[in-house]
Amino acid sequence: MARESATYIHGHHESVLRSHSWRTAENSAAYLLPHLKADHRILDIGCGPGTITADLAERVPNGHVTGADRAETIVDQSRNLTAERCLTNVDFTVADVHALEFEDDTFDIVHAHQVLQHVGDPVQALEEMRRVTKPGGIVAARDSDYAAFTWFPGSRGLTDWLDLYERVARAGGGEPDAGRRLKSWALKAGFSEASVEATSSTWTFANEEDRRWWGDLWKDRSLHSDFAKQAVAGGHAVQEELQAISDAWKAWGEAEESWLMIPHGEILCRASIQLGQTAAGLVVSRVAGSGPSHSTFKHQRRSGGEPLGREFSAPRPVLLELQASATEERRGAPARHARPQGTWPLSWENTATFTR
- Amino acid 314: pLDDT: 40
- Domain check: are 23 and 145 in the same one? yes
Predicted local confidence at residue 115, as pLDDT:
97
**Together in a domain, 311 and 265:** no
Whether residue 96 lies inside any domain: the answer is: yes
**Mean pLDDT score, 25-50:** 97
Please provide the size of the chain in residues: 356
Of 8-22, 152-166, 210-224, the poorest mean pLDDT is in 8-22
Instruction: Supply the pLDDT for residue 272.
Output: 77
Cα angle 221-30-18, degrees, rounded to a multiple of 5: 20
Residues 165, 294 share a domain: no
Tell me the backbone φ, ψ of residue 143, rounded to 5 degrees: -140, 145
Question: CB within 8 A of 249, min separation 6: which ones?
Answer: 157, 158, 161, 215, 216, 217, 218, 219, 222
Same domain for 327 and 185, yes or no, is: no
Picking from 70-79, 81-90, 331-340, which range would have the lowest pLDDT averaged per residue? 331-340
Average pLDDT, the chain: 82
Range of the domain at 289: 278-345
- Residue 292 falls within a domain, yes or no? yes
What is the rounded average pLDDT of the residues 102-114? 97
Q: What is the reported pLDDT for 334? A: 40
Q: In this structure, are 196 and 75 located in the same domain?
A: yes
Stretch 173-182: mean pLDDT: 98
pLDDT tens for each residue of 40-75:
999 999 999 999 999 999 999 999 999 999 988 899
Residue 6: pLDDT band (50, 70, 90) is confident
Does the pLDDT value for residue 88 go beyond 80? Answer: yes
- Pair (36, 166) in one structural domain: yes
- Tens digits of per-residue pLDDT, 274-283? 544 444 444 4
pLDDT confidence tier of residue 309, bands split at 50, 70 and 90: very low
One domain for residues 189 and 313: no
Does the pLDDT at position 104 exceed 90? yes
Do the domain assignments include residue 19? yes
Mean pLDDT of all residues in 296-319:
37
pLDDT at position 146 over 80: yes
Interior/surface letters 183-209, b for 16+ CB within 10 angstroms, e for the rest: bebbbebbbeeebbbbeebebebeeee
- 266 and 291 assigned to the same domain: no
pTM of the model: 0.78
Whether residues 296 and 265 fall in one domain: no
pLDDT at 341 over 60: no
Same domain, 68 and 203: yes
- Say what the alpha-carbon torsion angle 228, 234, 240, 245 is, to the nearest 10 degrees: -50
Measured in degrees and rounded to the nearest 5, phi and psi for residue 238 equal -110, 170
- pLDDT tier at 4 (50, 70, 90 boundaries)? low
38 and 138 fall within a common domain: yes
Determine what percent of the chain is predicted with pLDDT higher than 70.
75
pLDDT above 70 (res 263): yes
- 103 part of a folded domain: yes
